[in-house]
Amino acid sequence: MPSDVLSALPRRALLLGGLACAGSAAFLRGTTALAATTLLNVSYDPTRELYHGINAAFSENEKNSSGSSVTVRTSNGGSGAQARAVLEGAPADIVSLGLARDIDMLAQKGLVATDWQKRLPHNSTPFTSTIVFLVRKGNPKAIHDWADLVKDNVKVVTPNPKTSGGARWNYLAAWGWALHQTGGTEAAARAYIQALFQHVPVLDAGARGATNSFVQRDLGDVLIAWENEALLAAHELGPDRFDIVVPSLSVLAEPPVALVDHNARTHGTTAIAQHYLEFLYSSRAQDIAATHYFRPTDSAVARLHAGQFPKVKTFDIASLGGWAAVQKKHFAAGGIFDQIYTQHG
């Protein structure tokens, strides 16, 4: 969907219309090289509203500071699917994906520099999030923590870890919680994950699709979601419809960004794309991120918005061995997820 159409829509309409935008990367693959003043940011599902705001602010900033006319377009979809679209030729100047593993995949193919995560502050992660639950108003199934998701008659909505970065964070938040229980072992965590997916009636391809299944189609009793996605649904669709439940332990979700060096060189956009990435750390972009319920990494901006974010005890991906090890163990072909979901299916 072109940005001029997006600008006419309220945020609630963008949320409800998310599925209609999900295939835009495929559409863009057939286009010719982009003009020097146009950037394409290939991003993951729940960032539609975030980058709609940031792109407009960046264009305004460029116009006011240098007189340059810069247009930034964003394509959205499941993080893994978006990374594969770039591998197959989507002309991204920038990627902002759900997890570092998806950008590592681009680096392995020479599209992104191998040191990409050291190029920008906070491991090239300008905003963070975590994983929480969205439940029906009044919490009729009494869901308070991960253990409640595997109770009888509870249906869980979460996207597919094979295509969605958010789904991998969901899975790992559940796995980490199980490991941290008294007497927690990998066998116990595996048993919990297997039981959890037996309560999932359908796997959407991306986080926004899962949100719409829960919100619009009234599917399921609980949505496992990015915190920003849950807060957006709860606030934009009305506090009379949903409650947010914060589990006792979750994962620090770090969605990173990177310059797609190969494409930017081809388009002649390296300098302006790098400037865009640096703009994400500006106080203006950090403030926009907070208004879309992403947690700012700028401490001053974070303090200004602290009241809107619940306190969450988290662990990070490094405590599970890092993305390379996690990918091989859980999500590679034949990994634990395949073993569990094959048995489930």
pLDDT in tens, the chain (345 residues): 333 333 333 455 445 444 333 334 443 444 444 445 899 999 998 898 899 999 999 999 999 999 999 999 999 988 888 999 999 999 999 999 999 999 999 999 999 999 999 999 999 999 999 999 999 999 999 999 999 999 999 999 999 998 888 899 999 999 999 999 998 899 999 999 999 999 999 898 888 889 889 998 999 999 999 999 899 888 887 778 999 999 999 999 999 999 999 999 999 999 999 999 999 999 999 999 999 999 999 999 999 999 999 999 999 999 999 999 999 999 999 999 999 886 555
Spell out the long-range contacts of 158-162 with Cβ–Cβ below 8 A and sequence spacing 24 or more. Answer: 158/200, 158/203, 158/210, 158/223, 158/224, 159/78, 159/203, 159/204, 159/205, 159/206, 159/207, 159/209, 159/210, 160/78, 160/203, 160/204, 160/205, 161/330, 161/331, 161/337, 162/80, 162/331, 162/337
- Report the C-alpha gap between 131 and 25 in whole angstroms: 26
245: tokens are: 């439940």
Q: Give the Å distances, CA to CA, from 18 to 22, 152, 224.
A: 7, 31, 17
172: tokens are: 């790992």
- pTM score, two decimals? 0.85
- Report the C-alpha gap between 194 and 191 in whole angstroms: 5
User: Quick one: which H or E segment has residue 79?
Assistant: helix 79-87
